[in-house]
Structure 1
Amino acid sequence: MADRGGRGAGGVRAGAGLAGGAAVDLLGGRRLRGGFPHGVLPHGQAGLPRGRPDGGPEAHRPAGGHLRPRLRPAIRATHAGPRDRSQLRRGVDTAVSRQTQGAVLLVLGATLLSISAFSTTYLNYVRPGFRPLIVGAGAVLAALGLLSVVADMLGRPRAHDHGSRVAWLLAAPVFALVLVAPPALGAFAARRDDGSPARSRTAAHDALARSGVTELTLGEFIGRAYAPSSPTLAGRKVRLIGFAVPGEGGRGWYLTRMQVRCCAADALALEVAVHGAPAPAEDSWVAVTGTWVPWPDGVPDEYAVPDLTATEVSGIEQPTEPYE
């Protein structure tokens, strides 16, 4: 284009109010203010309006903290190179992209469904009554994740299609359940339990058969052992199921089962001391048939582990419901 009025495409000629008549490249990092060239501040800095005591402008300082958070990425994007801009448009960042968030939600929902709707793995962590809630939560998470992924694939890419780095924490339960799914609580947890099961001295219990073997839970066996005079257990053969926990110093062993009210976090160990049979391998599930050993001095005031004289001990598979 022809030069008009003595002004070129990239500078200003002498006589335009510039000192010394020198041409100034307007694209070279300077600008005109009041007819004189002034340096352009680096990106992210600004001269704040408040002045110094001598009347001069306040020293320049970074202005990033004075910008609204939503403006900062936009300003950075305008000064980014072509490659940086393409990365911003695609949401490439150390933060989680929206598409990745949707994929994590989808996998998390599918994992919950796999351990509750298609298997009984969830029973290692919660009571059976929580199954509908887990299935529902898994279905909702999977649906939300699928919708998020589809919407992101069909939608128009934007410069801010990324979320917080904290969203990566959503992947933690997925890795825990898929890679290292924890088993049901066993001997390790039982040894560290310092609580005692609730017992009632007034609870009524039905009489047990005088002949044959009656299968009881450990909780019911302990409750009957603490009943007044314990008449329902005396001389009766019972069958109990649990896992083996060696005694301290290798002295004896305990038939143990964890009792939960809600989930594994509130589990309480129920124990019965077994006599007359060698100790099975630690954490192995066994069925023990035997008779209760009466209290030597009557029902104790403080909690004590009841005793059982075993007549038969047989190994079994872990029950589908490992907790009482």
Structure 2
Amino acid sequence: MIRQAHAILMLLLGVTVLRTAFTDVYLRYVKEGLRPLLIGVGVVLIVAAAATFWYEWRRPAPENQPPPQEGHREPRVSWLLAVPVLALILVAPPALGAYTVDRAGSAIQQPAGFPALAAGDPVPLTVGDYAARAVYDHGRSLAGRTVKVTGFVTLGKGGEPMLARLTLSCCAGDAQPIKVGLEGKVPAGLRPNAWLEVTGAFSARRTADPINRAPIPYLAVTEAKPVPEPRNPYES
């Protein structure tokens, strides 16, 4: 019975992994390029579960086997291990958001260089690209340009709204936030985790993250409108 219980858990977990991998739900947990690995893991788990069931079905029953002793019964509480798997099947947790950002310092990465921006305004940029150009290029590549940046709202010191995005190296466990302050025509009443598409220009204003003292650049907002959460909520 113990092997059968293990097989059921493997089967449930394999089905959950495949269900997640074949939808965009997996993007809440890992980088986009890891989908083939998730599919492979799901298939292996299901095959292992099927092999276990086959082995148990084909195994001859031992002769003269004594009845199970009272002290050796399998604890029913062990079936609670299936609860997290069933929870993932029924209700997928949301992507990380403002709660995570509020508890980690901004982690702007300095790139090897700053390619010329595409022609036409507003030019779409990621939160990380805008922040890196504003901090490490001192806004030179942003001069005279209008940019469009999408992220979710988080509240800085004193309840000041900021735009943020989380970056992944591999999975949600190593997520690091990038924060951009907002000034100018910032809508009132912004709530954490609300997604915004912000249009604006480079601002020379800068502050330090109170958590790790990392620089937080600002964006001079000319327009901000709510948008749905994107297919991939993280930046690479």
The bucket for the TM-score relative to the shorter chain is 0.7 to 0.9
- Match of 1:192, SS state, is coil
Q: How does 1:119-198 map to 2 (within 5 A)?
A: 119-158=23-62, 171=82, 173-198=84-109
- How far the C-alpha of 1:226 sits from its partner, in A, is 2.2
Which of 99, 111, 114 is equivalent to 1:205? 114
- 1:234-273 deviations in whole A, cap 9, x for unaligned? 22100001111123332x2111100110111111111111
Structure-1 residue corresponding to 2:172: 264
State the distance in 2 between where 1:195 and 1:231 align.
22
CA displacement at 1:318 relative to structure 2: 1.1
Alignment RMSD, CA only?
2.8
Query: Are the equivalent residues in 1 in contact too, given 2:198–2:223 (CA < 8 A)?
Result: yes
**Deviations 1:220-240 (CA, angstroms, capped at 9, x unpaired):** 111111234431112210000
Other-structure match for 2:218 = 307
The residue type paired with residue 293 of structure 1 is: S
Q: Deviations over 1:44-66 (max 9, x none)?
A: xxxxxxxxxxxxxxxxxxxxxxx
Q: Residue 11 of structure 2 aligns with which residue? A: 106
SS at match of 1:306: strand
Gaps of 5+ in 1: 1-90, 92-96, 297-301
Instruction: State whether residues 108 and 132 of structure 2, in contact with CA within 8 Å, keep that contact through their aligned partners in structure 1.
Output: no
1:164 Cα shift?
8.3
Distance 1:303 1:122 in 2: 30
TM (normalized to structure 1)?
0.61
Q: Describe the SS at the equivalent of 2:142.
A: coil
Q: In terms of Rg, which structure is larger?
A: 1
CA contact (8 A) 2:122 2:148 kept: yes
- Matched ranges for 1:209-248 at <5 A: 211-248=120-157
The answer to whether the Cα contact below 8 Å between 1:210 and 1:236 also exists between their aligned partners in 2 is no
Taking CA–CA contacts closer than 8 Å with sequence separation of 6 or more, which of the two structures ends up with the larger relative contact order? 2
Q: Using a 3 Å threshold, how does the CA distance of structure 1 residues 290 and 133 change in structure 2: closer, same or farther?
A: same
Percent identity reads 37
Deviation per CA, 1:135-183: give whole Å up to 9, x if none. 0010010111122123323433455999987975863651342244321
Q: Provide the C-alpha distance between the structure 2 equivalents of 1:121 and 1:138, rounded to a whole number of angstroms.
A: 15
Structure with the largest fraction of helix: 2
Q: State the Cα deviation string for residues 280-310 of structure 1 (Å, max 9, x = none).
A: 32201111111110248xxxxx732111111
Give the Cα separation in 1 of the matches to 2:39 and 2:73.
27
TM-score of the aligned structures, taking structure 2 as reference length: 0.82
C-alpha distance 195-294 of structure 1, shift in aligned 2 (>3 A): closer
- Structure-2 change in CA distance of 1:198 and 1:249 (3 Å): same
Q: Which residue identity is paired with 2:221?
A: A
Q: Hey, what does 1:86 align to over in structure 2?
A: none
The ranges of structure 1 where at least 4 consecutive aligned residues each deviate by more than 4 angstroms after the TM superposition are 158-170
Task: Give the whole-Å Cα distance in 1 for the aligned partners of 2:194 and 2:106.
Answer: 23
Residues 135 and 215 in structure 2, CA contact (< 8 A), matched pair in contact too: no
Give secondary structure in 1 for the equivalent of 2:162.
strand
Q: 1:228 to 1:242 in 2, by over 3 A?
A: closer
3-state secondary structure, aligned to 2:215? coil
Structure 2: give runs of 5+ residues left out of the alignment. 207-212
SS in structure 2 at match of 1:305: strand
What residue in structure 1 maps to residue 197 of structure 2?
287
Q: C-alpha separation between the residues in 1 aligned to 2:164 and 2:137? A: 24
Residue of structure 2 equivalent to 1:12: none
